[in-house]
Amino acid sequence: MPRGKAIALLSGGLDSLLATRLIIDQGIEVIGLHFITPFFGYHQKGREGEFQNQWRQRHGLEVRILDVSEGFFQILRHPRYGYGKHFNPCIDCKIFLFSQAREWMEKEGADFLISGEVLGQRPMSQRRDTMRIVERESKTEGILLRPLCAKNLKPTQPELSGVVDREKLLGISGRGRRPQIELARKMGIQDYPTPAGGCLLTDPILSQRIRQYFREHPNVEVREILLLLVGRHFRLPGGGHLIIGRKEAENERIQRLAQRGEILLRLRAIPGPLGLIRGPVDEVSLRLAGSILARYSKARGAAEVEVRYGRNPDGGDGILSVAPARDEILDLLRFESFPEVPPSSAGDEGRGFGSVPNGDRKNSGAREDSRFGFAAPGLSGGSLDEGPLGAAREDPH
């Protein structure tokens, strides 16, 4: 009969797995929790059973895979302890996840929590002072055991009560990986990922894109984040948001995530990227999106390219003839090139990305459009169903 019961927070990396094994080897029952959000582990969404089987077959662990996106978004928007180098609220993230784990511990009737943290391994979240903050704020003081570095810390309740033998725990510290790799060898653990941050909020480009989007939109949905994580992104005049796939897998994801009212674009008769326009669309934006799409295709050197547009990228509602965009246009409209747009001026209608800043726009439609390699005098800014786009050529096929 097990000596006790614990809940282990499993990140998918080596350290949390080693910490869990140290406790299992003491005859204690362990249930794993693996949290996912669009920023980490979300490829498992909808495939939980498959990944639970992998944990079971490879490591003999029963693991719950939990989507905590909604709560995490709130933490991301207003982290009490701030961000790391990029948009990563590491301390608040740990407080949130440990709080979630504590609730599961109480539901399961477990005695304590297990974390694979190592003192001094991470400069922001694994310092001694921040570890104490995390314990206090998550209400896990005394019940959060860190087996890999336990001998460098005060004994926890399971150690003091004798449920866990402290002498069989470790005193690893610092950023080196040799002790963990040697322990994995001794335990016969071979199938584990190489050490890395694992969280997309630490990526310098993606984190900037996500930070801007969060600051411009008071409410953010998972689908929007999933779109932010793929492709090339551009702001269009009037507040539209263009996403262009970089490879076939991204094209498939963009098409899968597209919703009613959003416009898909693909080159006619030429293999290449898929484009998606979200938010307000007028003729200038549509033509501009088509020209950017052409620039990233094999037809980038052509004088003119035909682009299908509509709700069905293979058939399309109509066809545009455009010249591939010049590089200076791409630089002007690339999302990462923009200063952050205040929420009050963000183009929230249709969930766009905010408009081109006023300082870069002209009041005259013809003058503004000529910057992009074509002119449309008197453009009224109509939608796809009315105004200038009503004259767009229909796809005869």
Q: Strand 62-67: give its sheet, edge to edge.
A: 62-67, 29-36, 5-9, 112-114, 144-145
CA angle 253–74–256, rounded 5-degree value: 10
Q: Which residues pair with 363 in a beta bridge?
A: none
Structure tokens at 387: 């105004």
Average pLDDT over residues 344-352: 45
Q: Does pLDDT of 393 surpass 90?
A: no
Q: Does pLDDT of 391 surpass 50?
A: no
Give the model confidence (pLDDT) of 315-332 as tens digits: 567 999 999 999 999 999
Structure tokens at 297: 């295709």
Q: How confident is the model at residue 362 (pLDDT cuts 50, 70, 90)?
A: very low
DSSP string, 307-345: EEEES-TTT-SEEEEEPPPPHHHHHHHBGGGSPPPPGGG
Half-sphere exposure of 189 (CA within 13 A, CB side): 22
User: With pLDDT > 70 as the criterion, what percentage of the chain qualifies?
Assistant: 82
Question: Which of residues 269 and 278 earns the better pLDDT score?
Answer: 278
Q: How confident is the model at residue 373 (pLDDT cuts 50, 70, 90)?
A: low
Q: Does pLDDT of 366 surpass 50?
A: no
Q: How confident is the model at residue 195 (pLDDT cuts 50, 70, 90)?
A: low
The pLDDT of residue 358: 40
Query: pTM for the complete prediction?
Result: 0.82
Q: What CA–CA distance (Å, rounded) separates 367 from 375?
A: 7
